[in-house]
A and B are shown apart, each in its own frame.
Chain A
Amino acid sequence: MSLEKHVLSVTVRDKPGVLVRIASLFARRGFNIESLSVAKSGIAGYSKTTFVVKGAEKTVEQVEKQLQKLIDVITVVDHSEAKYVDRELMLLKVTVKSSEERTEIRQIASDFRARIVDVHRNALIFEITGDEGKMEAFIEQMKPFGIVELIRTGRVALTRSAADPKILRKAKITTKVI
């Protein structure tokens, strides 16, 4: 059974308990949540959640349908089906042992367009945004210097189109069901 990665954007009512419902649905279907971000959407009273989940391809459709059944879920968009952009934010603290190292680290960071947000005598904290590949590459580059700590937000994603999610949802249901 191959486990595929899926990026799901779920618009929900901004109410207590909604996230638990979604999380327990994923758990019940054997989906592991790799990353999760929740934030206010552009519309008052609604939140937008982005899940990166890993699960068997054939159960993804079922999970999406089950999500749609939740009363507080408004739309579900599986980005794997369309072109989309995704970003995450990472804070990374790296040790600096010498001034040569400092120069080298700053050069790499600049190539990655990472910003220095905190400077210490023997450490630097960077802020970096980008897709998953960029995050991984930056981590690889920083590893030799000694990463003290890092934290990532999890992904957020938007479909590359002007259509609003309602239309997307409708289009999706027709293509799926027929």
Chain B
Amino acid sequence: MTGAEVIIKALEREGVNTIFGMTGGAIMVVYDAMYDSKINHILMRHEQGATHAADAYYRTTGKVGVTIATSGPGATNLITGLANAMMDSAAIVAITGNVPSGLIGTDAFQEADIYGITGPVTKHNYLVRDVNDLPRVIKEAFHIASTGRPGPVLIDIPKDLQIEEFTGDFDAEMDLPGYKPTIKGHAGQIKKAAEALKLAKKPIMIVGGGSQSAADELLEFVENVDIPVITTLMGIGAFPTAKDQWLGMPGMHGTVAANKAISNCDLILASGIRFDDRVTGKISTFAPEATIIHMDIDPAEISKLVKAHVPVVGDLKNILPRLSEYSERLDIDDWRKQTAAWKAKYPERYNTEKPLVSQEVIGMLRKETTDDCIVTTEVGQHQMFAARLFPTEKPRTFVTSGGLGTMGFGLPAAVGAALGNPGRQVVCIAGDGSIQMNIQELATIYKHQLPIIIAIINNGCLGMVRQWQEMFFSERYAEIYLADSNPDFAKLAEAYGIEGHNIHDRESAKIAIEKASKSNKPVLLNFFVYEAENVFPMVPAGAGVADMIIGDQMPEGDYDDVIYEAEVVK
């Protein structure tokens, strides 16, 4: 057996049946070995696309995503995808070829120090130096990627090792004395959390990406204690939006109800969140009076940004049922009434007197799609609108680049989501700016006839930057205009063999979405929307979450009692 054959066999042992990759000189031996295997390899058109697809494959299935690339530029193209997976805790195993061992360090053709480069953007990485280590290294990589706080692991394999004859033990044990994630929550801490919760008069629960794998336990717990629930961008889908307890998203573009609840609560039960600055706003004004119970699998997240009074380290699947056991329905009727009143008073609404607006389009998409559909997004205004107007109902269905904010994520992510979930509806909500960052993946979508609705919310500019320029840079619109040189997206889709439509008005938008949602094949819908639409409410960077800017696009209403125009700081 050669090293390459060992790699394929070891991947099969891990249950891998789908790989997203791109071949090349230093990895073609592995591809040659894969030629005879049952693994379904998806030839992506760019390595970055491959990592994002693997990332979304993990997020939507819970199975480790696998990506393969060649040395040098192939490997460096993975970096953004690895960093993205690291920030959003997605389990990926990336395998890269490298130049033969003897040439490493000589500036050989297509050589890059990928082991050195990827250290800070992976949970762990390997440069394999002995062919006989391969089975153990691959086993370890999958174990590290998928346990504890999930994350990307990269294995760099010089070409000579792929050719060399394997003489070692294929069943070699893992050798990880320094890796022991805490799974079981500390009993004493869970009791303390239950006691603190019982005493609270105005508690809230903030649900983050870490809760996606414990959605059943979460729902059971919330139904038991009946506590108001806020879902972060990464937590969308982990809790059903139809429930009374749900108050929406917190933070910079959060709902009024969620931010009001944070500002007035006396306890935060944080469930798999890491208190990102987009969630907390100014830390010193973030729920300063509240007791913080922080449940997370990563001890390094405890008190990193917000001091935790009761930390509980472990897997939420283990912690939540036990916390539930110690708890009963909370005696907080006044607080429930208060949060419900905020939620009722400030529903999602937008002005439809203007030309077609993004929010309307996204609302229409939600209406026409199924309850278990998967949404992927690019990054920008449309992403925030999607989070607010198209929060999905099931766990692992809202796939977005939260931590890194990677433009170019959504389209390849839709590929990974569609391939990981055959038969499920996938909607990719994109902007005209970000979709062009990985638009080559239209070819992959065409080839596999993936039933993805690609909805481009085309405002002809880099909208989120435009919004900041309007608000904080005296309307000096530096380098955000795209409309004069955007391609005709419908024609572009057609050039790739995908049905495409350019849509300018409400009526045709409605018809096109209805048709697309029933077509079961890839469709690209290019919606021309109002350019100057802004995402509101908004908490300016550096302000506290109570200081929401309401903006001029919400219908007239009585907002004075709760929100006011914040002092805008450049």
Contacts and interface: CB of A to CB of B under 8 A. Distances in A.
Interface stretch (A64-72, A104-112, A143-151, A156-164): A64-72
Contacts of A62: 300, 304
A69 B189 CA distance: 22
A31 to B, nearest CB: 15
Interface residues of B, number: 21
Interface string B145-161: 00000000000000000
14 contacts: A21-B119, A24-B119, A28-B120, A62-B304, A65-B299, A65-B300, A66-B300, A68-B300, A71-B124, A71-B176, A71-B179, A74-B177, A177-B311, A178-B189
Interface string A35-76: 000000000000000000000000001100110111111100
B183 interface: no
Given A12-B178, A17-B115, A177-B311, 14 more contacts: A13-B177, A17-B116, A20-B119, A61-B303, A62-B300, A65-B302, A66-B300, A68-B299, A70-B124, A71-B178, A71-B179, A72-B178, A177-B189, A177-B302
Main secondary structure of the interface of A (DSSP, over half): helix
B378 to A, nearest CB: 28
A13 B115 CA distance: 17
Nearest to B312: A177
Contacts of A28: 120
Contacts, number: 46
Interface residues of A, number: 22
B314 to A, nearest CB: 11
A177 B299 contact: yes
B91 interface: no
A70 B178 contact: yes
Nearest to A74: B178
A24 B115 CA distance: 13
A20 B178 contact: no
Interface string B278-316: 000000000000000000001110111000000101000
Contacts of A12: 178
Closest A-B pairs by Cβ, 3 of them: A65-B300, A71-B124, A74-B178
Contacts of B123: 71
Nearest to A11: B178
A117 interface: no
B127 interface: yes
B7 interface: no
A177 B298 CA distance: 12
A173 interface: yes
B144 interface: yes
Nearest to B127: A17
Interface string B102-132: 0000000000000110011001100100000
Contacts of B304: 62, 65
Contacts of A13: 177-178
Interface in A136-178: 173, 177-178
A17 B176 CA distance: 16
A173 B299 contact: yes
A73 B178 contact: yes
Contact of B120 (A24, A65, A69, A74): A24
A72 B300 CA distance: 16
A71 B311 CA distance: 23
Most chain B CB within 10 A, of A24, A28, A65, A73, is at A65
Interface string A69-93: 1111110000000000000000000
Most chain B CB within 10 A, of A12, A28, A72, is at A72
A69 B180 CA distance: 9
